[in-house]
Chains A and B, each alone.
Chain A
Amino acid sequence: MSKVKTIHATPIAGDASKIVEVVHLGKSFGSNEVLRDIDFDVRTGEVVSIIGSSGSGKSTLLRCINLLETPTTGDILHHGQSILHGAHKVNDYRTHVGMVFQQFNLFNNLNVLQNCVVGQVRVLGRSKEIAEQKAMQYLEKVGMAQFIKAKPRQLSGGQKQRAAIARALAMEPEVLLFDEPTSALDPEMVGEVLKVMRDLASSGLTMLVVTHEMQFAREVSNRVVFMDKGVIVEDDVPEVIFNTPRHERTRSFLDRILDR
């Protein structure tokens, strides 16, 4: 079981078919090591769910992928190009990797339509007309086209999250990261957000979802990643993870959370 570990002093050339590839990634807050030696990737068209108990590091991994947290060690590759060490522009990379937050984080000073337009115009440099057209297209998709004039404070949690998904989609990213998108919602609003996410998954969007919704992870994902104490314990198809997990830690987590 001995595994030879190579230490990469310089960024390595990865696999270009992988949208995002995480290589030997580690993250510490002070002396607290949150992520340890994470190797992980997302390919075009995949829907990957990350599950695990609170404090397992799954949200931190997602935030590292979008560089909202700076990894302490290791590298992140975008189509084989290093983001951390190369000449890659961070802000340019971020336009390819969208993010949906647990707390929605809609821009409070802008209405729903403007929320979906500002990034397209100010970052991608699209014209206002095209940006509004695209915004409307994605707001239709999430069922929020009626609410374009509303300010975030006037919306329910479920409506805010669907608007936030439209905002991320309007940037037309290669992969969309979801950080526990239904955890801050009232129970009756979880369904409307999960339905939107199911629709997106079946339309072929590449998604990476940190979630506590086991049914969603099981039914929608191509791959499920189980994390515990800052490491990836198991990374497999949902059938294996949920029915015949290889690791005891995965089994005990699922037994606990699924009450079986």
Chain B
Amino acid sequence: MMYALAAATPETFWAWVIFIIQNYGSLFLIGARNTMFIAITGTAVGFAIGLLVAVVRTIPIKPSTPTPIKAVVRLSKVLLGVYIEVFRGTPMIVQAVVVYYGSLQLLGIDLSAMVAGILIVSINTGAYMAEIIRGGIESIDRGQTEAAQAIGMSHVKTMVFVILPQAIRNILPATGNELIVNIKDTSVLNIISVTELFFMSKSAAGTYFRYFEVFFVTSVVYLIMTFTVTQILRWLERKLDGPENYTVMGSQTTPAGTIHVHHGDHRPGLGGK
């Protein structure tokens, strides 16, 4: 039996790589799938958390606001500030251990590793996204808010229809960053045995003690995932920006046509008179 194993053992680096892919390919795929699932879900939920936190943190307090509402808003802002500081100020690997074991010991909730993993990534991302989105909201010119208020929009309507669409477009690159960081950082969840790519790789490597070859394959898989996501986000940004050209509606005095707007030149070639 030992002979048979020895005979089947590859000798060169590339032979090992091929051997590992053939024997553990499905393990890598499952790991990659779980990694992507946790990263995408965590980023999406984190984004939603960040959105809520940022909208609350940008509620204006006016002197005319009734005192009880003022107190509630102020308290919420303080609590949300604490949340952001705690989850940005501690490593995710530590948060994973504390939440996974703490939820059972303290609250008696037995989370599965996967659920705990998604929870950690979501809450952690939420803390970062809250600050990114707040920056995005505050970067939008005050005139946009005033114009929305002047036609009678409430704070929420102003946010939903005017400010957030612009803020979210502006923070898309930063959000993409978060997603890519999450794809890589889910690897720390191996500490609580989540079956993501790093955990799977460790299992594969342990069998033959071929750490270099296995983790070479692992890094290629991570790279493929992050590169693909980067390209999709680029495409999304271009799509959200819309075409640089716009169609002029035909009228009796001006024929229909397309106006080409060049980058850096915000004045169309056709006058409006």
Query: Which chain A residues have a beta carbon within 8 Å of chain B's beta carbons?
Result: 66, 68, 70, 91-95, 98-99, 101, 103-109, 111, 118-119, 122-124, 143-151, 153-156, 158-159, 162, 164, 167-168, 171, 192
Contacts and interface: CB of A to CB of B under 8 A. Distances in A.
A153 B246 CA distance: 11
B148 interface: yes
Contacts of B259: 150, 154
> Which of A123, A148, A171 has the most chain B CB atoms inside 10 A of its CB?
A123
Given A122-B157, A123-B157, A143-B273, A107 B148 contact: yes
Interface residues of B, number: 37
Given A109-B162, A118-B161, A143-B272, A94 B150 contact: yes
A154 B266 CA distance: 5
Nearest to B242: A151
Interface of B: 62-64, 141, 143-144, 146-154, 157, 161-162, 165-166, 169, 242, 246-251, 254, 259, 261, 266-268, 271-273
B151 A155 contact: no
Contact of A149 (B64, B144, B246, B271): B246
Contact of B150 (A68, A143, A192): A68
Nearest to A156: B267
A94 B261 contact: no
B144 A105 contact: yes
> Which of A122, A143, A144 has the most chain B CB atoms inside 10 A of its CB?
A122
Query: By DSSP majority rule, is chain B's interface helix, strand, loop, or mixed?
Result: loop
Nearest to B272: A159
Given A101-B143, A143-B272, A154 B150 contact: no
Given A122-B157, A154-B268, A145 B251 contact: yes
A70 B64 CA distance: 9
27 contacts: A68-B146, A70-B64, A91-B149, A94-B151, A94-B152, A95-B152, A99-B146, A101-B143, A104-B143, A105-B143, A105-B144, A107-B144, A107-B148, A109-B169, A122-B157, A143-B273, A144-B272, A145-B249, A146-B248, A146-B249, A146-B251, A149-B247, A151-B242, A151-B246, A154-B266, A171-B151, A171-B152
Contacts of B267: 156
